[in-house]
């Protein structure tokens, strides 16, 4: 499948959690790098929509996005992935891998690996309706701690 390697198919450890928020859910993700934190935030969103252990890697989907600043880039990145899920072929990602990340020009290229969402095979958890800027926070503290992201999604 598209010349994927064993490394491409390896699923990274979970580095995200869900925080209670009135009528919405707040995704809290982190990583050793900002790119990994973005990837983990994407996986937190997909994990909130379905049980990712039931998702197989059968298809790949490539996305590109750019923003005006880092917050806008995160918003557009998640929004593009949400669109991928909401439009044909309704792809649910088991893994999202950023292939190019430019934190100065605010551009991302990424590959989502997963399969078409099918009721009956996949659990239908909360529906993510939209990504929001509400209380969005990005912390990049490589010398002190890990990069962290907080994003509220409308459910």
Reduced to 3 DSSP states, what percent helix, strand and coil does the chain have, rounded to the nearest 5?
25, 35, 35
Level-2 CATH architecture, domain 20-154? 3-Layer(bab) Sandwich (3.55)
- Pairwise CA distance, residues 117 & 147, whole Å: 31
144 confidence band (pLDDT: 50, 70, 90)? low
Structure tokens of 97? 């891998």
Give pLDDT tens digits for 75-109: 999 999 999 999 877 999 999 999 999 999 999 99
Q: What does the mean pLDDT of the chain come to?
A: 92
What are the domain boundaries of the chain? 20-154
How large a percentage of the chain has pLDDT more than 90?
A: 80
What integer is the mean pLDDT of 54-71? 96
The pLDDT assigned to 142 comes to 60
Q: Is the pTM of this model over 0.75?
A: yes
- Dihedrals phi, psi of 14, to nearest 5 degrees: -75, 130
Closest of 114, 126, 140 to residue 38, by C-alpha: 140
pLDDT score recorded for residue 115: 96
Q: What is the pLDDT of residues 7-18, one digit of tens each?
A: 999 999 999 998
- Please check whether residue 56 is in contact with residue 115, taking contact to mean a CB–CB distance below 8 angstroms: yes
């Amino acid at each position: 499948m598209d010349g994927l390697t064993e490394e491409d198919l390896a699923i990274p450890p979970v580095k995200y959690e869900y925080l209670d928020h009135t009528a919405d859910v707040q995704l809290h993700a982190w990583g050793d790098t900002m790119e990994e934190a973005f990837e983990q935030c994407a996986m937190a969103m997909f994990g909130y929509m379905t049980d990712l252990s039931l998702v197989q890697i059968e298809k790949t989907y490539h996305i590109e996005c750019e923003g005006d600043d880092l917050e806008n880039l995160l918003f557009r990145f998640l929004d593009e992935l949400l669109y991928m899920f909401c439009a044909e072929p309704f792809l649910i990602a088991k893994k999202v891998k950023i292939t190019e990340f430019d934190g100065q020009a605010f551009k991302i290229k990424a590959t989502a690996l997963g399969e078409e969402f099918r009721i009956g095979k996949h659990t239908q958890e909360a529906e993510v309706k939209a990504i929001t800027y509400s209380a969005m926070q990005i912390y990049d503290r490589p010398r002190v701690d890990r990069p962290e992201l907080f994003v509220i999604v409308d459910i």
